[in-house]
Amino acid sequence: MKNSKKRVIAAALLAGMFTAAGATRAQVDPSAPIVVRSSTKASKNAPGTKAWLKAEIIHADAVSMVVREQGNEMMIHTFTYGPEIGDHMQQIVDSGGYQYGDKVKIQYVRGQTVALKIRGKPSNPS
């Protein structure tokens, strides 16, 4: 009697495994893509759009600028200068440059680290 019970249980388990495996295979259709969100309008926060960042200078020199966001002090960004403002930034550095704590606004392209425009007055060097 014990052997027949074991056989029935084993057969039931085996049948259950095959049934479950067949059901999961039938639910997946690899040919159809899953669309999470579809939008025809470009979002204003999409990568590739221009944005302004209000920031505070941590370090600035003739090649790059390290800043901290004003709205989120934990976010630190490093920007290099675009060709349009490279010469202007060299002139600012030659006359004393931006100092730690100066407030600036930086225009950049989302997803990139190149500053296109920088607004803000450098403080007098100490």
Q: Give the separation between CA 75 and CA 68, rounded to whole angstroms.
A: 6
Same domain, 60 and 102: yes
pLDDT in tens, 67-110: 999 989 999 999 999 999 999 999 999 999 999 999 999 999 99
* Strands of the chain, DSSP E: 50-60, 64-69, 76-81, 103-109, 114-119
| Residue 126 pLDDT class (50, 70, 90 cuts) | low
Q: Using CA atoms, how far apart are residues 76 and 70, in angstroms rounded to an integer?
A: 10
pTM: 0.63
Contact assessment for residue 67 and residue 57, using Cβ atoms and an 8 Å cutoff: yes
Could you list the residue range(s) of the whole structural domain that residue 8 is in? Answer: 1-30
- For the chain, the domain total comes to 2
- Specify whether 55 is located in the same domain as 115: yes
pLDDT in tens, 1-55: 567 777 878 777 777 776 655 555 555 556 555 556 655 555 677 888 999 999 9
CA distance 68 to 100: 10
Q: Which helix (H) or strand (E) holds 21?
A: helix 2-27
Does some domain include residue 39? no
Shared domain for 57 and 112, answered yes or no, is yes
Residue 26 has which token pair? 């039938």
Tokens of 71: 């709205």
Pairing of strands 114-119, 76-81: parallel
Say if 56 falls within a structural domain: yes
